[in-house]
Amino acid sequence: MKLPEPERSAYLIGLIALFGCGHSDPFGAQRFDTDQPFNPSPPVQLTVNRGPDRRAAWQPDGSALLYSTQLLNTADNDVCLAVLAPTGGRQRALTCELTPTGEQRTEAIESAALASDGRLAFEVATSNIRALRPQTQGLALATLARPPDYRVLLSIPYTGSSGRLTGALSQLHWLGPNRLLYLAELVATRQPCNGCQLDTIRSGIEVAWLPVDQSASPQMVPGTDFASGVSPGANENEVYYTLAGDARVYHQDLTTGMVTVAHDFGAAGTARDVHVVGSRMAAVVGGRVASVADPVLGPVQWDSGGTLHVVDLQDGSDLVLTGPGLFRRPQLSPSGDEIVAEIYPLIITTTDFGVDTTVGRDGDLYLLGRP
């Protein structure tokens, strides 16, 4: 992945799960008893893959992590949902196939969000093997015990209340017991040059929420045009979000519509991928990011990762955390004591024309302790 550029994850073509996949069984078919990380040196490397591990989320009690991982050594290239101890080690469970004929299609589970009662929300997509775009896609609701037994709450793509076409979603969270909060995204595929590998462009277009207990349409959160990150707050009527090309993190009261600036990173650069727990906020800032006006797609933010900042919202203190690469999508633990994040390695290559720096296309998950 050249720099700067968007997240170049091929849509529906994800990662290798290091310890295999039970193709016909739900969670619980195979368990492992090793909860030791691959690399215990801080930051603790939780996963090791030839492909990326991404979109991690904590169980509400902090006892495990959920994340998406894809099999590169199988014909169907499924994007699987894995469960991992927060200390790392081998996967506790892995779900790849969602239908009895799943081995004949590519199936994907992304952006999982687990409620305290065991309900599991996630983005689901299916396609023909090696297809560039999904044939069916939606926001689904199931349980952690039985992910394949899901129902689709919202079909994707859809035209939102803002009039813009949503082609995917990410940063999915529960906003109280009956609403789901997420970042609606634009999705496009293009070939940057003749003979070049196809790129999938994903860029935030707005923050939206959807009720899960009735038939209803998603609602855009006002003022979140071209958002780049979203997080629930301390209650179901407040959200935090970031906007493309903006160094500020915003707080909005959904009841009154009042918007305030929660924190301004100023000269540190563009803020995105925000997550808030209690008075602690994690966000990716600066790095390899650029907001442009694409002649075809409109406003697009290209993002290859940045620096991880942890802010105390009470006193405004800002701590910068480092790692072996660029950060994406940090997630604070329910207690706020730890952070799991994707880290993408910097690759430095010496050529006849000088030194070329790129960012690895595939990242791994890392755990950072209490700052």
Three-class secondary structure assignment of the chain: CCCCCCCCCCCCCCCCCCCCCCCCCCCCCCCCCCCCCCECCCCEECCCCCCCEEEEEECCCCCCEEEEEECCCCCCCCEEEEEECCCCCCEEEEECCCCCCHHHCEEEEEEEEECCCCEEEEEEEEECCCCCCCCEEEEEEEECCCCCCCEEEEECCEECCCCCEECEEEEEEECCCCEEEEEEEEEEEECCCCCCCCEEEEEEEEEEEEECCCCCCCEECCCCCCEEEEEECCCCCEEEEEECCCCEEEEEECCCCCEEEEEECHHHCCEEEEEEECCEEEEEECCCEEEEEECCCEEEEEECCEEEEEEECCCCCEEEECCCCEEEEEEECCCCCCEEEEEECEEEEEECCEEEEEECCCCEEEEECCC
Residue 260 CB burial class (10 angstroms; 0-12, 13-18, ≥19): exposed
Low-confidence ranges of the chain (pLDDT < 70): 1-39, 51, 102, 352, 355, 370-371
Residue 370 pLDDT: 55
- Taking only the tens place, the pLDDT of each residue in 9-60 is 333 333 222 223 333 344 443 344 456 666 677 899 999 877 679 999 999 9
Preceding omega of 43 cis (within 30 degrees of 0): yes
Domain ranges of the chain: 44-368
CA 204, CA 225: separation in Å to the nearest integer? 8
Count CB atoms within 10 A of the CB of residue 216: 13
What is the pTM (predicted TM-score) of this model? 0.87
The closest of 265, 255, 186 to 227, measured between CA atoms, is 186
CA 352, CA 339: separation in Å to the nearest integer? 40
Q: Taking the C-alpha atoms of 269, 271, 272 and 273 in order, what is their torsion angle to the nearest 10 degrees?
A: 110
DSSP output for 314-370: TT--EEEE--SSEEEEEEE-TTSS-EEEEEE-EEEEEETTEEEEEE-S--EEEEE--
Beta-bridge mates of residue 204: 185
Residue 284 pLDDT: 98
Q: Is the dihedral of CA 222, 121, 344, 335 positive or negative?
A: positive
**The one-letter amino acid at 324:** P
The DSSP output letter for 102 is G
Locate 223 and state its tokens. 């003022």
Residue 216 pLDDT: 80
Given a contact cutoff of 8 angstroms between Cβ atoms, the answer to whether 159 and 220 are in contact is no
180 SS3 class: strand
Residue 128 pLDDT: 87
Q: Is the dihedral of CA 3, 350, 44, 20 positive or negative?
A: positive
Residue 162 pLDDT: 86
Given a contact cutoff of 8 angstroms between Cβ atoms, the answer to whether 70 and 91 are in contact is no
Given a contact cutoff of 8 angstroms between Cβ atoms, the answer to whether 71 and 17 are in contact is yes
C-alpha angle with apex 117: 15 to 335, nearest 5 degrees?
75
Statement: 44-368 belongs to CATH 2.120.10.30: yes
Residue 279 pLDDT: 96
148 SS3 class: coil
Residue 37 pLDDT: 67
Residue 38 pLDDT: 63
